[in-house]
A and B are shown apart, each in its own frame.
Chain A
Amino acid sequence: MLGQLGFVVLAGIKFGVLYALAALGLVVVHKATKTVNFAHGAFAMLGAFASFLMVVSWQWPYWAAYVAIPLVIGLAAAAIELVILRRLRQADMFTVVIATVFLGIAISEGFRLTYNTELLAVPSLFSGPPFILAGVIVTRDTAWVIGGALLTALACIALFGYGRLGRGMRAMAANMRGAQLCGYSVDGVYMLAWFLGGVLAGATGVFIAPVTGVSVDLSIAIITAGFVAGVIGGFDSPRGAIVGGLLLGLAESLSAAYVSSAMKSCISFLLLFLVLMWRPQGLFPERSGRRV
């Protein structure tokens, strides 16, 4: 019985860390630019597709995919900010948000038109014998997805919280005019935020590809889960995004196992409504106090 609970919890954590990574990318862009990037799921889908190309089609080593794809997707996201969104920003923020919705659709449909298939399967990174922890079988791939995705998320939080890069983004989010007076460039910080968001989307894609395969629907699945996890944790809180992702993954898994398998789809929206009604700032919002 405990072993079965262990399986359910493990599956919840596995999908939860992937949701957390997706949410973190949304939060990073939102925190620095006050824009919800609805194209984030499509960027992650591109990352997953790139891992199919590199690992399956081109037979490159897997580690190359983990290193190269986040950087490539990050650069692509930064280029989109530079070429498209920077011009739109002169209108208003709403225009930029709407633009990201259609950008996501354009990327997904472009993929669908060029690669007309239902699902592309990507093999697991590890294939050795599994570990057995307290009666629960943990495959090497599951351990890698949980550990790797969690480490990536924590590294991002460290960068955002303690590095010079993150300071600029946080300053811009708190007070754009003040940050400019302190020498931060709006354009530079915005592009950096989009780059970092793209890196996280690419990482989400590479980690999720062997778990779910690559399909157009992946784009919607990632943005939905990432958005809900972000709202649960608090849309301005990187730490909240991680906790929100894990909570969502566990809630889905446990409700499907012990209430009804039909609950899996609706639990995320139930949580979303509950959080928005009772705690719209999220369960773990960033403290907004300031030293005087």
Chain B
Amino acid sequence: MRTFLVRGSRIFAAALAGIGSVAFVSLAGAQQNGITPSEISIGAIGALTGPLAFIGAPGRDSMSLAFDEINAKGGVCGRKLRLGFEHASSPAESIAAVKKLVEQDKVFILVLASGSTGAAAAADYVRQAGVPTYNLYGSTPIIRNPFAENVFHGAVVPVEVSAAALISMFHDDGYRPKKFGILAGTYAFPQATLKAAQDILRQKGADFAVEQFDIGARDFTSQLVSLQRRGIDSVLVLGSFSEAGFAIKQAREMGLANVRWVVDGSAVSTAIIPILGNADGIRGYYNAPAFPGQTPATREFEARLSKHLGSLPQGRPSVYDLIGYGSGYVVAEAIKATNCELTRANLINAWSNLKDAGPTKLGGLDITFPESYTPTDHQGVYRIGAAIVKGGQWQVYRVIDRP
């Protein structure tokens, strides 16, 4: 009897140890890919301060709004979505933040809400790490090429697409540009679009001149004088709303009249209007089907975001808010599409086959272009809105599909 008890207790202890080690291993495994029984960890990077905060801060705020809405309805696969956001502005900060999220925090999905600068810096690392990565705002080719099966690109189209859309807007309403000028920032995002725009203009045999400015520039006199000297009648501004706003304001002060201004997507913001006073006629592309305030859904989004943040900063919601919100829902839909078999390989496979993903399928607001992926094409959206300021308000006047 005693022997039996001793043997039994040994078997029990061994079984307990076995169960314990299996539980430990599975728990460790679960923690490794950012999954716990109650949460799915999603890590994001982006600039929350500095000149690029107009991209990162809306990304954080609107994605967290989407996750709050999804979590309020019970989450995904019985788990809440938890967003961890790391500030990263420079390339070095972006690499450090991505490594922290992947190696230390062990997130399930990595979101690049940083624009082209951060996306370009993190590109090699995320390809090697193999973590499912969602590039929200980076249009740079560095994050897109070479193709990586774990990297997905959302509402922001490749620079070739946005550059083609920008050039096409110069010809809207029968306008015939004679000589193009391009005012481009020296940082990653404008430079990527600049290269694509130059290629298109060269192919068209168009006459054009390029002038550049540093990030956060406020005085564009020298660049504008140079463009004026060359008899430019159509100017493409590749930079933020503040850069574009002050450039156009100074151009008007210098008497650069009868010029068609087309601005980059990052300058298509309500915040450019108070800089200029009268901004009517300025065009630019928009990565969403409607501008905030233009449709009932975007008005409802503005109200929800305002409630979420307490108050809305000037210029918000911006396109980065709309994209951040829509992307939050795409993340949830991709997780759901794994049939709750939550491994990174399953997620990559499910994401690669998503069709028309967006907020509406999970009860969110219809404010972004739906995203579709294939195993060989991880660009979710090829559509872009052409926007114009009319009566002091931005509005999307046509949707361009694969320009």
- CB pair A118 B212 closer than 8 Å: no
- CB pair A118 B53 closer than 8 Å: yes
**B245 to chain A: closest residue by CB:** A121
**With known contacts A118-B242, A119-B242, A137-B255, A257–B271 Cβ distance under 8 A:** no
- Report if B211 contacts A (CB, 8 A): yes
**With known contacts A116-B313, A262-B186, A137–B221 Cβ distance under 8 A:** no
Q: A244-273 interface mask toward B, CB cutoff 8 Å, 1 = contact, 0 = none?
A: 000000001100111001101100000000
- CB pair A4 B54 closer than 8 Å: no
**With known contacts A217-B216, A257-B221, A117–B253 Cβ distance under 8 A:** no
**Which residue from A211, A258, A264 sits with its C-beta under 8 Å from B214?**
A264
**With known contacts A217-B51, A257-B226, A262–B212 Cβ distance under 8 A:** yes
- CB pair B313 A117 closer than 8 Å: yes
- CB pair A121 B271 closer than 8 Å: yes
Q: A80-95 interface mask toward B, CB cutoff 8 Å, 1 = contact, 0 = none?
A: 0000000000000000
**Size band of the A side of the interface?**
35 or more
By a CB distance below 8 angstroms, the chain B residues around A147 are none
User: Looking at chain A's contact residues, is the secondary structure mostly helix, strand, loop, or mixed?
Assistant: helix
By a CB distance below 8 angstroms, the chain B residues around A116 are 57, 313
By a CB distance below 8 angstroms, the chain A residues around B54 are 118
- Report if A120 contacts B (CB, 8 A): yes
Nearest chain A CB to B266 CB, angstrom units: 11
**B311 to chain A: closest residue by CB:** A116
How far is B254's CA from A262's CA once the two chains are assembled, in angstroms?
Answer: 21
**With known contacts A121-B275, A213-B275, A217-B51, A8–B216 Cβ distance under 8 A:** no
- Report if B204 contacts A (CB, 8 A): no
- CB pair A112 B271 closer than 8 Å: no
- CB pair A130 B214 closer than 8 Å: no
- CB pair A211 B218 closer than 8 Å: yes
- CB pair A213 B225 closer than 8 Å: no
- CB pair B229 A265 closer than 8 Å: no
**B213 to chain A: closest residue by CB:** A261
By a CB distance below 8 angstroms, the chain B residues around A8 are 221-222, 225
How far is B228's CA from A56's CA once the two chains are assembled, in angstroms?
Answer: 33
By a CB distance below 8 angstroms, the chain B residues around A118 are 51, 53-54, 240-242, 271, 315
Q: A116-131 interface mask toward B, CB cutoff 8 Å, 1 = contact, 0 = none?
A: 1111110100010010
**Which residue from B57, B217, B224, B253 sits with its C-beta under 8 Å from A142?**
B253
- Report if A11 contacts B (CB, 8 A): yes
**With known contacts A117-B314, A121-B245, A123-B277, A264–B222 Cβ distance under 8 A:** yes
- Report if A281 contacts B (CB, 8 A): no
**A141 to chain B: closest residue by CB:** B253
How far is B87's CA from A112's CA once the two chains are assembled, in angstroms?
Answer: 14
Nearest chain A CB to B62 CB, angstrom units: 14
- CB pair B315 A117 closer than 8 Å: yes
**Which residue from A7, A15, A119, A252 sits with its C-beta under 8 Å from B225?**
A7
How far is B54's CA from A215's CA once the two chains are assembled, in angstroms?
Answer: 12
By a CB distance below 8 angstroms, the chain A residues around B26 are none
- CB pair A7 B271 closer than 8 Å: no
By a CB distance below 8 angstroms, the chain B residues around A215 are 216, 242
**Size band of the B side of the interface?**
35 or more
- CB pair A216 B223 closer than 8 Å: no
By a CB distance below 8 angstroms, the chain A residues around B208 are none
How far is B219's CA from A67's CA once the two chains are assembled, in angstroms?
Answer: 27
Those of A29-85 within 8 Å (CB) of chain B? 56
**B242 to chain A: closest residue by CB:** A119
By a CB distance below 8 angstroms, the chain B residues around A253 are 219, 221-222
- Report if B49 contacts A (CB, 8 A): yes
**B218 to chain A: closest residue by CB:** A212
- CB pair B221 A119 closer than 8 Å: no
By a CB distance below 8 angstroms, the chain A residues around B296 are none
**With known contacts A257-B221, A265-B214, A130–B253 Cβ distance under 8 A:** yes
By a CB distance below 8 angstroms, the chain A residues around B219 are 11, 15, 252-253, 264
Q: B221-245 interface mask toward A, CB cutoff 8 Å, 1 = contact, 0 = none?
A: 1111110110000000000111001
- Report if A224 contacts B (CB, 8 A): no
How far is B60's CA from A116's CA once the two chains are assembled, in angstroms?
Answer: 13
Those of A213-235 within 8 Å (CB) of chain B? 213, 215-217, 221
- CB pair A119 B229 closer than 8 Å: no
- Report if A185 contacts B (CB, 8 A): no
- CB pair B214 A119 closer than 8 Å: no
By a CB distance below 8 angstroms, the chain A residues around B8 are none
Those of A171-228 within 8 Å (CB) of chain B? 211-213, 215-217, 221
How far is B278's CA from A148's CA once the two chains are assembled, in angstroms?
Answer: 26
Nearest chain B CB to A206 CB, angstrom units: 16
How far is B49's CA from A142's CA once the two chains are assembled, in angstroms?
Answer: 31
**A117 to chain B: closest residue by CB:** B313
**A259 to chain B: closest residue by CB:** B222
By a CB distance below 8 angstroms, the chain A residues around B225 are 4, 7-8, 257
* Seed contacts A11-B222, A119-B271; 14 additional CB < 8 Å A-B pairs: A7-B224, A7-B225, A11-B221, A56-B274, A115-B313, A116-B57, A116-B313, A118-B54, A130-B253, A213-B242, A213-B245, A213-B275, A216-B49, A264-B219
Please provide the 4 A-B residue pairs with the shortest distance between their CB atoms, ordered closest to farther: A257-B222, A11-B221, A256-B222, A121-B274
| Contacts A/B (CB < 8 Å), 17 sampled | A4-B228, A7-B254, A8-B222, A56-B274, A115-B313, A117-B313, A117-B314, A119-B315, A121-B245, A123-B274, A213-B218, A216-B49, A253-B219, A253-B221, A256-B222, A261-B222, A261-B223
